[in-house]
Amino acid sequence: MAVAARLSQQQFSDIPTLVRALVGAASKTFASDETLYRIVFDSRSQNPVSNQIGLSGRHRIFAAYREALLPFLDGVPKSRAELLVRVSFHLLAAAIVGKARVDDGALADLSWNVLESEIGTAAIAYLETSIRTGAKPIRSTKNKDIGDEEGQMMRDGRQLSRSVI
């Protein structure tokens, strides 16, 4: 609750300030009691209460982040803006929860301060690049050369029954 509350109580002047506030609040919260959060976010846990606590917390944090970020995405088509919110949140949440779980070898030895700085920078770059490029997803020109049915399926985002490389 601490992270969502911090986000809900602040006004943000720009995207970097918002992203740094989220990752900073989460890092400080998780660092304050690593043992507790390791238990809450343990992916091997079959404890429905712990699972619900973790899921509920992520939903509250996401809602606060979404509410704070959408005004900065006014010039972006609504469906694309929602996607940018979801993907940028996932970048941040996956890294933070991965570190909290201590099951991600790439992140386990990083300090919370280093993680905060690096993942914040990555999410900010993603958002700023997406906005600067008109928020259009980057698409491979390769898809245009694929057979009609397969190319259309890839452009529509449908699963292919066989691998196309």
Q: How high is the mean pLDDT in each 10-residue block of the chain (165 residues)?
A: 76 94 86 65 66 78 93 91 95 87 79 92 95 65 46 44 34
Q: What's residue 75's pLDDT?
A: 86
Q: What's residue 37's pLDDT?
A: 60
Residues near 10 by beta carbon (within 8 Å), at least 6 away in sequence: 21, 68
Q: Would you call 134 exposed, middle or buried from its count of C-beta atoms within 10 A (0-12, 13-18, 19+)? A: exposed
User: Is the alpha carbon torsion for 22, 28, 31, 37 positive or negative?
Assistant: negative
- CA-based nearest residue to 122, from 94, 159, 158, 150: 94
Q: Would you call 157 exposed, middle or buried from its count of C-beta atoms within 10 A (0-12, 13-18, 19+)? A: exposed
Supply the DSSP symbol for 101: H
Residue 126 contacts residue 19 (beta carbons within 8 Å): no
Distance CA 83, CA 62 (A): 13
> Number of C-alpha atoms within 13 angstroms, CB side, residue 53?
15
Q: What's residue 128's pLDDT?
A: 94
- CA-based nearest residue to 51, from 61, 39, 33: 39
Q: What's residue 26's pLDDT?
A: 85
